[in-house]
Amino acid sequence: MNLNILWFILIAILYIGFFLLEGFDFGVGTLLPFLSRDKDPQLRDAHRRTVINAIGPFWDGNEVWLLTAGGATFAAFPHWYATLFSGFYLALFLLLLALIVRGVAFEFRSKDHDPRWRSLWDWCIFTGSLLPALLLGVAFGNLMVGVPIDAEMNYVGGFFNLLNPYALLVGVTAVLLFTLHGAIFLSLKTAGEVMVRAYAAARRLWLPVVGVMFILLVATYLSTDILSKLGVDPGVIPITGMAAILLTGFFLRRKRPGWAFVMTCVTIAFTLVTFFMYLFPNVMISSLNPDWSLTIYNASSTPYTLRVMTIVALIFVPVVLLYQGWTYWVFRKRVETHPETLTY
């Protein structure tokens, strides 16, 4: 295996890790205003604080996976980075803005006891969770079907070229799937009324997720040449992802949220594996001329740069994994709601 292939695989792993971990963060943030609508303002605020505390120790660490994936793309495949960020500039700017607003909202929400102040930041958390999920789904959908790239590796389309039906379908699917993922995570991480509501939300969300994923699966087979690209045997991978989301509903009905969470993880992971297998050896497909597509070879850095990056990754990636594993172990207990003692 040469280093170009190795770094393509490593970047794929980074994105899979990001969507697995930050995916439930996005889902929890999207659910925040809807799992806590009690008439008693103190109880409502306590429930919302419980929801936020469930992801409080994890969300900023989970975002590191996206930063690392972006940095690895810049260093290993600079032409991919340049074309992607210039062509998707407005969408990525909105993504960055939404993530900043969400991070500020987590910190600012509890600085004032005024219900209007807290409600404002709650909706900022909602927007800062839903919008990135949608935008990232749209971005990956466009990479799947191809975008207008000329012979000089320049994106020559406009912003509205990115808002095509297939990409929007991928975006909607990402939002719904992450929301289901987050609801199941909350049912595992919280106790009491919040846990009950999160579990009920997961059961309600499951069928719409199955429906939109089935539509996406059909649309993918119709909009791309995935069958000829993956072949019969690798074609089992997207089917396995679909089977996993069906098993999610089975485990939810059996009241086994742990296994349901495993199944949503499998669904997300196998969906992304399908994406990167389809893309390889391209990193961006040109819809104007296949010969103008960016590949892991014409978009890569020098062999020396890739060797240095590999050494650095071998040293620091295990450290990051150990740190994140330690964080999840330390904060493994369920979060409970106690309005009279809950820290604001």
Per-residue CA distances from 293 to 8, 9, 19, 152, 159 (Å): 15, 19, 25, 10, 19
36 touches 194 (CB < 8 A): yes
In the predicted model, is pLDDT for residue 342 greater than 90? no
Q: What is the mean pLDDT of the chain?
A: 90
Length of the chain counted residue by residue: 344
Please report which confidence band the pLDDT of residue 338 belongs to, taking 50, 70 and 90 as the band edges.
Answer: low
What confidence score (pLDDT) does residue 343 get? 47
Is 87 among the domain residues?
A: yes
What confidence score (pLDDT) does residue 336 get? 81
Q: Would you give the DSSP letter of residue 297? A: T
Is 175 among the domain residues?
A: yes
Is 106 among the domain residues?
A: yes
What confidence score (pLDDT) does residue 344 get? 40
Lowest mean pLDDT among 23-37, 73-87, 216-230: 216-230
What confidence score (pLDDT) does residue 339 get? 56
What's the whole-number mean pLDDT along residues 193-213? 95
The domain of 70 spans 3-183+276-330
**Distance from C-alpha of 283 to C-alpha of 144, rounded to nearest angstrom:** 10
Place of tokens 């297998």: 277
Is 146 among the domain residues?
A: yes
Give, for 282, the enclosing helix (H) or strand (E): strand 282-284
Is 245 among the domain residues?
A: no
What's the whole-number mean pLDDT along residues 49-61? 90
Please report which confidence band the pLDDT of residue 324 belongs to, taking 50, 70 and 90 as the band edges.
Answer: confident
At 153, phi and psi to the nearest 5? 65, 25
What's the whole-number mean pLDDT along residues 241-255? 94
> Total structural domains in the chain?
1
Per-residue CA distances from 78 to 65, 84, 302, 317 (Å): 18, 10, 10, 21
Is 205 among the domain residues?
A: no
Is 252 among the domain residues?
A: no
Is 335 among the domain residues?
A: no
